[in-house]
Amino acid sequence: MEKKATGKETEPLTCKKDASDCNKGEDCKENGLLVRNPKSALRLVEDGNKVHPSQGDKGQAAQISNGYSGGQSSAPCNGMGEVEDAQCTAPAATTTTTTTTSTTCGAEGQQQLMELEDRETWSKKIDFLLSVIGYAVDLGNVWRFPYICYQNGGGAFLIPYTIMAIFGGIPLFYMELALGQYHRNGCISIWRKICPIFKGIGFAICVIDLYVASYYNTIMAWAFYYLISSFTTELPWTSCTNAWNTGNCTNYFSKDNVSWSPHSISPAEEFYTRQVLQVHRSDGLDDLGGISWQLTLCLLLIFTIVYFSIWKGVKTSGKVVWVTATFPYVILFILLVRGATLPGAWRGVLYYLKPDWQKLLATEVWVDAAAQIFFSLGPGFGVLLAYASYNKFHNNCYQDALVTSTVNCVTSFVSGFVIFTVLGYMAEMRNEDVSEVAKDTGPSLLFITYAEAIANMPASTFFAIIFFLMLLTLGLDSTFAGLEGVITGVLDEFPHVWSKRRELFVLGLIIICFLGSLATLTFGGAYVVKLFEEYATGPAVLTVVFLEAVAVSWFYGITQFCNDVKEMLGSAPGWYWRVCWVAISPIFLLFVTCSFLSNPPELRLFDYNYPYWTTVVGYCIGTSSVIFIPIYMVYRLVITPGTFKERILKSITPETATEIPFGDIRMNAV
């Protein structure tokens, strides 16, 4: 294969090297042109001949400039798969890109090369799409979006929500998919190919994912407890005659004429607070009480399911999501049809969608819209990077981003009808306004209000089983994804340690997450879950994605990034995407972060008001993950040789080549 020089003609240099001149596994250093390491593929840069292409030259990276194709060496090999006597001929590196060849020979050398180049990929495209949809569509879509929507203007809220999705959420979603697919690395090692000084972002993401796994799965344990309790002829939260009930328990669904008073407590609420959570046995965060053995067993079983779903990689989890990602839609449809037929359902729908245009003038509404679309799509958790890294290089990630983000937003909207038709039914039964019935936020909306409504429907046992089974599948998808973000990041960063020990690493990770969840399994564990949900992850993830967008757009370069996308898809992103990545999306993130930090939420759960010191603790937990970013920056500058200016330049310049498929070989591009 020939290639015309783009600059002046290159002059060939010939070197005669004996096997003794090159150590096993090392490169033939003279001129740095013939790479003798059997563990490396065709590379575009080497040693002193490294030349970083300008932003406009990246499109030429897929061409070979020295006339060699991979694996063409005919030199004899010794028993170790190395070249015994290599005749090296290559042109001098005078063009904007320089390529080197790998003389890999012998069965062992070829096997090592295949192990390096062959990265696990999705069995089918649909496996990837279902995994991403399953990750993006979680418990928050079922309860948080409907609540946020009616709280911030009903139907009018869809305007800021759509605007924030178009200019903030979807561009960031697309950016992470493109980064992961092009560089084919997890959240840690990918920064060597983008901007090494920001590598601390990867470590911060892993810590955040561990925090999420420590409290998010506890909510699934609650759902699992409900699921087990649902296998009865009469659901246990329908009556006030149980051991956990108090004198204030009021069953207004009974045949007797029972009036609802301000002190009344529904049997569903007492089942949730006194039987499942047992919060009455805790005085708050300063006295969490003992550990609930029932919830501990539920969580242990959940983590067992998670382990055997992800221990082998995406080829096994990609099959599991065929059930966990599609089943919720079947259940949502059944519940939507059932809810629409309930008396008073129209009241809930009207309350859900009735527009309050005055709300659009409030800054809080736009902040809530931005936060909802961001946390719903989920960039910044390393999941999109990990999942996309297992795609084929030329997979249409642009189309994937549009499809999956649209499915996610539509699911959130439809979930609102599922929830509010039932809330309208509850208001009809209580003879109250929908706002009084729907005052509960968070998981309480699912485990108290919706559970109570289900309990008083015909065929209540059936609907309770499928509803809580749906919650489990929604949660499992997100857990698979969050842990895969950590697993891929660590395995790509330390392949020499963990690449052949994935099952063992995943087991250790599951054990760590389980031990980290013990505080949420106490009698006051619900208070811990609320604290982590509001403070430990929210501001940290916003900060991480803001820095990620800045690093990619301003340090790596928007032109460079768009050229990367062009190599994969054949066409570069348009001006709309460029403007979003460079300016609008970072501003969007900065806006949400500053709004959150300037006005931190005042936490209250049930009758417990969080003391001020818990806010400080929450911010400290959040900071414990973000702190890895500046720590690594300092570490990077300290270990890099040269003057301060040289250290800065080296630290923001990609240090590792990115492998680009070229026919049957793989090339490295800078």
Annotated binding site for Na(+): 134, 136-137, 141, 376, 408, 474, 477-478
* Region of 258 on the Ramachandran plot (φ > 0 left; ψ -120 to 50 alpha; else beta): beta
Q: What are phi and psi of 102, to 5 degrees?
A: -115, 120
Angle, in degrees to the nearest 10, between helices 327-340 and 397-430: 30
Residues contacting residue 105 through CB under 8 Å, at least 6 positions apart: 38, 73, 75, 77, 81, 82, 83
The amino acid at residue 359 is K
Give the angle subtended at the CA of 252 by the CAs of 150 and 435, to the nearest 5°: 15
Distances 428 to 343, 446, 452, 469 between C-alpha atoms, Å: 7, 18, 14, 27
Strands 608-609 and 101-102: unpaired
Q: Which residues of 184-196 are buried (b: 16+ CB within 10 A; e: fewer)?
A: bbbbbbbbbbbbb
- For residue 323 the two structure tokens come to 């059930």
Q: Are 375 and 542 in contact (CB under 8 A)?
A: no
Torsion of CA 448, 450, 455, 460, to 10 degrees: -140
Looking up tokens 């300008």 gives 54
Short-list 94, 181, 249, CA closest to 401: 181
End-to-end CA distance of the chain, in Å? 22
Strands 604-605 and 85-91: unpaired
Short-list 645, 546, 535, CA closest to 588: 546
Tally of CB atoms within 10 A around 633: 16
- For residue 51 the two structure tokens come to 């030349």
Short-list 71, 4, 46, CA closest to 663: 71
Q: Determine the Cα–Cα distance for residues 173 and 401; give it in Å rounded to an integer.
A: 6
Q: What are phi and psi of 520, to 5 degrees?
A: -80, -10
Tally of CB atoms within 10 A around 316: 14
How buried is 426 (Cβ within 10 angstroms: 0-12 exposed, 13-18 middle, 19+ buried)?
Answer: buried
Short-list 281, 231, 324, 305, CA closest to 521: 281
Strands 608-609 and 12-18: unpaired
Angle, in degrees to the nearest 10, between helices 363-377 and 538-550: 80
Q: What are phi and psi of 258, to 5 degrees?
A: -115, 130
Q: Determine the Cα–Cα distance for residues 167 and 370; give it in Å rounded to an integer.
A: 10
DSSP state of 285: T
Residues contacting residue 519 through CB under 8 Å, at least 6 positions apart: 214, 288, 525, 528
* Number of residues assigned to the chain: 670
Q: Determine the Cα–Cα distance for residues 566 and 668; give it in Å rounded to an integer.
A: 16
Angle, in degrees to the nearest 10, between helices 397-430 and 170-183: 140
